């Protein structure tokens, strides 16, 4: 696996230890933006352990179907809950006992049966760790923040996903546009490959940028529109107001538009709202 070296280093040592001692890997929370490789990392951990990976979406998990999910598990298996923050409060509460003592109350035809769950590892993936109930959050022994990928790592990921030859300067430009996010980089690569018959060139990447309104600095049209709106007001603006103005969801503002802008020091986020920085104002001079 490419990237996330500090997380992998700690988990590699932990996996060696728990295998030697016949233990189960403790529960893990993975926090980071969409497309940062949380699902890939869960699969990688499962491969290292040599156990089965069962994947469910938090929004689809309920106390009625949770029992069926647990019945599929064997000792040491991994239950991967994507978007774990989207669990309904009742469903989250149903996880507390299985995570702690590996027991579960199974609901069937109005009756409740308590049964033992084989010791397992729960890996939760989230973009919004603050939305998790504290009792659930406390049951994760490991809580890892997914790091942005370096240019070298992004170059490796993009090359790994190539289906057509590409010029080196084209690949470098894709890395620059990827914003340190593998999913962004891979999707851009696929889009470029779909524009040509044989080889991706810098001209291909530039054509895609023009079609999508992507600036040379890597900012998308949405991000530039966002900054332009803040620049016109020059006062803190709330997330809901920004979402309404841009005709997108608040989640899109927070998770797709803002992360790179914060990382580059182009906006400030505070209790009173979002504010453009002097550095960002230079883009409009």
Question: 280 or 109, which is more confident?
Answer: 280
CB atoms inside a 10 Å sphere around CB 235: 10
Residues 69 and 193 in one domain: no
Question: 38 or 217, which is more confident?
Answer: 38
Residues 22 and 140 in one domain: yes
Q: Which two tokens stand for residue 265?
A: 């020091």
Q: What is the pLDDT of residues 114-144, one digit of tens each?
A: 889 999 999 999 998 888 999 999 999 999 9
Residues 261 and 177 in one domain: no
Q: What is the pLDDT of residues 61-87, one digit of tens each?
A: 987 788 889 889 999 999 999 999 999
Residues 234 and 273 in one domain: yes
pLDDT band at 28 (very low <50, low <70, confident <90, very high): very high
- In this prediction, residue 256 carries a pLDDT of 83
- In this prediction, residue 68 carries a pLDDT of 85
Residues 139 and 162 in one domain: no
Across the chain, what does the average pLDDT equal? 92
* pLDDT for residue 187 is more than 80: yes
Residues 49 and 136 in one domain: yes
Maximal CA-CA distance, the chain: 69
Helix then strand then coil, % of the chain, to nearest 5 = 55, 15, 30
CB atoms inside a 10 Å sphere around CB 273: 17
pLDDT band at 232 (very low <50, low <70, confident <90, very high): very high
Alpha-carbon torsion 144, 79, 84, 137, what sign?
A: negative
Residues 127 and 237 in one domain: no
Residues 6+ apart with CB under 8 A from 282: none
Q: Give the CATH number for residue 261.
A: 1.10.10.10
* pLDDT for residue 267 is more than 90: yes
Domain count for the chain:
3
Residues 138 and 157 in one domain: no
Pairing between strand 78-82 and 103-108? unpaired
Residues 139 and 161 in one domain: no
Q: Rounded to whole angstroms, how far apart are CA atoms 270 and 238?
A: 9
- In this prediction, residue 123 carries a pLDDT of 98
- Average of per-residue pLDDT across 100-110: 81
Q: Give the CATH number for residue 157.
A: 1.10.8.60
- Average of per-residue pLDDT across 223-246: 92
- In this prediction, residue 106 carries a pLDDT of 74
pLDDT band at 263 (very low <50, low <70, confident <90, very high): confident
Q: Rounded to whole angstroms, how far apart are CA atoms 174 and 99?
A: 42
Residues 237 and 191 in one domain: no
Domain range for 269: 221-284
What is the phi/psi pair of residue 132, to 5°?
Answer: -75, 135
């Amino acid at each position: 696996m490419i990237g996330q070296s500090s997380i992998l280093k700690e988990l590699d040592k932990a996996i060696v230890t728990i295998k030697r001692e016949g233990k189960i890997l403790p529960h893990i929370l993975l926090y980071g933006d969409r497309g940062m490789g949380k699902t890939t990392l869960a699969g990688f951990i499962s491969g290292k352990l040599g156990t089965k990976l069962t994947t469910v979406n938090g929004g689809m998990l309920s106390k009625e179907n949770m029992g069926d999910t647990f019945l599929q598990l064997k000792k040491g298996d991994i239950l991967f809950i994507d978007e774990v923050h989207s669990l309904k409060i009742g469903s989250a509460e149903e996880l507390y006992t299985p995570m702690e003592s590996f027991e579960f109350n199974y609901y069937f035809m109005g009756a409740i049966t308590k049964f033992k769950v084989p010791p397992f590892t729960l890996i939760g993936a989230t973009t919004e760790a603050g939305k998790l109930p504290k009792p659930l959050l406390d049951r994760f022994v490991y809580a890892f923040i997914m790091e942005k990928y370096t240019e070298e790592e992004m170059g490796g990921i993009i090359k790994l996903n190539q289906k057509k030859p590409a010029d080196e300067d084209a690949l470098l430009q894709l890395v620059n546009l990827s914003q340190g996010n593998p999913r962004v980089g891979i999707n851009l690569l696929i889009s470029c490959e779909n524009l040509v018959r044989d080889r991706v060139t810098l001209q291909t990447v530039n054509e895609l940028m023009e079609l999508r309104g992507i600036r040379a600095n890597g900012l998308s049209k949405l991000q530039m529109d966002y900054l332009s709106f803040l620049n016109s007001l020059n006062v803190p603006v709330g997330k809901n107001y920004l979402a309404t103005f841009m005709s997108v969801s608040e989640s899109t503002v927070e998770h797709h538009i803002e992360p790179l802008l914060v990382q580059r020091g182009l906006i400030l986020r505070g209790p009173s709202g979002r504010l453009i920085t002097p550095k960002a104002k230079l883009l409009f001079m």
